[in-house]
Amino acid sequence: MNNDNLANERIRHLNSNRWEKTIYKAKQQVINSLTEPHRADYDKQVGSVLTPRVQRLMIIGLCIVAFAAFIISAGKQITAMTILFDPIAQNSEHLSWVWADASIILGLALGEIGTIIFSVACSMFSEYKGKVIVFRVFSIICATLAILANVTITALHDNSGFVVWAWFVTLAPPLTVIAVGLLIESLVMRNMKAQLEAQREYDIDHREYEYFRARPEQHTTFKRRWYLSIYEELCYRKDDRLLIEALVQEDQAIKGALVKREIEVHEFWEVMEVELTGRPTLPPGATAGLINSSKPTTELPTF
């Protein structure tokens, strides 16, 4: 059915208020369809090679290994530091046994915990190469403190008959602490990268959400929603709806033709800068002329 037939059926155009209503309605539908992203949802989507259960078991095992290495190594470190600090406290007029005991405990923490802490610091400040080098050096110094304490005590005892085993037990615990520190460093680094990726995805989606909230007409679904809104508004009055339904029963393409006709007419009046506010329809006699002067419908809106 062509445009002349549509005009003869007296299907009225939308006035400016109803036309603006179709645009507003389509925009609101787009805005209402948007889902605001939440940061916590992106943390849940952080992928991992290991399942949560395996990760928990790994952490438990790591804690057991670290505790075992600490206990074995700590005894020799305490003994070595006692040999070093007790004579100082005994022969000093200003240092007490409290200082010696505190020094032993702090030295133990420095040797074992310091190795892990400085190793983790390397991953936390990985973007600063200079700081990473400094933290790595201090991690080695702390580990060396534990290793030398173990070596010292082993060397003071007679290990004849089981020398290999004695030196293995001497070196294995502090070296294990180093390995634990490196493993924790890797886990922290991996977690930080995952968090940064989650933050990046969240920022992208949030910017897109804010953009389409401010400019819903730019959304990919806007035109389809707008076309439907125009069609629904054309069918708002009962007499128009009956005429349109009769035409659509004959040809479904009439839906697109009606919407396209409406868009072309209003674009024409916008160009001509004609104010239609408050007018229920276009001026008498203008409808047929406008429709007949419109470009042929070559592409109909899709719903």
For residue 57, the number of C-alpha atoms closer than 13 Å in the C-beta half-sphere is: 5
Whether residue 278 lies inside any domain: the answer is yes
Identify the pLDDT of residue 291: 37
If asked whether residues 141 and 269 sit together in one domain, one would say no
If asked whether residues 161 and 68 sit together in one domain, one would say yes
Whether residue 298 lies inside any domain: the answer is no
Identify the pLDDT of residue 4: 45
Whether residue 23 lies inside any domain: the answer is yes
If asked whether residues 203 and 272 sit together in one domain, one would say no
If asked whether residues 188 and 47 sit together in one domain, one would say yes
Dist CA 36 CA 208 (whole Å): 10
Identify the pLDDT of residue 49: 56
- Specify the pTM: 0.60
Residue 247: phi and psi, rounded to 5, are -70, -40
Whether the CA torsion 158, 162, 167, 173 is positive or negative: it is negative
If asked whether residues 246 and 284 sit together in one domain, one would say yes
Q: Which of 199, 214, 229 is the last residue of a domain?
A: 214
Following DSSP, what letter does each residue of 211-240 receive, concatenated? HHHH-GGGSTTHHHHHHHHHHHHHTSSHHH
If asked whether residues 129 and 88 sit together in one domain, one would say yes
Report the domain count for the chain: 2
Dist CA 231 CA 177 (whole Å): 73
If asked whether residues 47 and 23 sit together in one domain, one would say no
- Cα 28 versus chain centre, distance: 27
229 exposed, middle or buried (CB, 10 Å; 0-12, 13-18, 19+)?
A: buried
If asked whether residues 232 and 179 sit together in one domain, one would say no
Sequence-separated (6 or more) residues with CB below 8 Å from residue 300: 253, 255, 256, 257, 259, 260
If asked whether residues 97 and 128 sit together in one domain, one would say yes
If asked whether residues 115 and 66 sit together in one domain, one would say yes
Residue whose entry in the numeric block shows the structure tokens 């004695």: 166
If asked whether residues 76 and 192 sit together in one domain, one would say yes
Identify the pLDDT of residue 281: 45
Q: Which of 214, 243, 276 is the last residue of a domain?
A: 214
Q: Which of 214, 229, 260 is the last residue of a domain?
A: 214
Domain of 55 in residue numbering reads as 41-214
Which residue from 288, 241, 222, 291 is spatially nearest to 263, judged by alpha carbons? Answer: 291
* 149 token code pair: 């304490």
What is the biggest distance separating any 2 CA atoms in the chain, rounded to whole angstroms?
119
Dist CA 300 CA 277 (whole Å): 27
Whether residue 301 lies inside any domain: the answer is no
Q: Torsion angle, CA of 259/265/270/275, rounded to 10 degrees?
A: -110
Sequence-separated (6 or more) residues with CB below 8 Å from residue 175: 143, 147
Task: Please check whether residue 146 is in contact with residue 177, taking contact to mean a CB–CB distance below 8 angstroms.
Answer: yes
Following DSSP, what letter does each residue of 248-277 receive, concatenated? HHH-THHHHHHHHHHHHHHHHHHHTT---T
Whether residue 85 lies inside any domain: the answer is yes
If asked whether residues 121 and 225 sit together in one domain, one would say no
How do the pLDDT tens digits run along the chain, 303 residues long?
A: 454 454 445 778 888 888 999 999 999 999 999 999 988 888 766 655 566 677 778 888 888 888 888 888 888 888 888 888 888 888 887 888 888 888 888 888 888 888 888 888 888 888 888 888 998 899 888 888 888 888 888 888 766 667 788 888 888 888 888 888 888 888 778 778 888 888 899 999 999 999 999 999 999 999 999 999 999 998 888 888 888 888 888 888 888 888 888 888 887 777 665 454 444 444 333 333 333 333 444 466 766
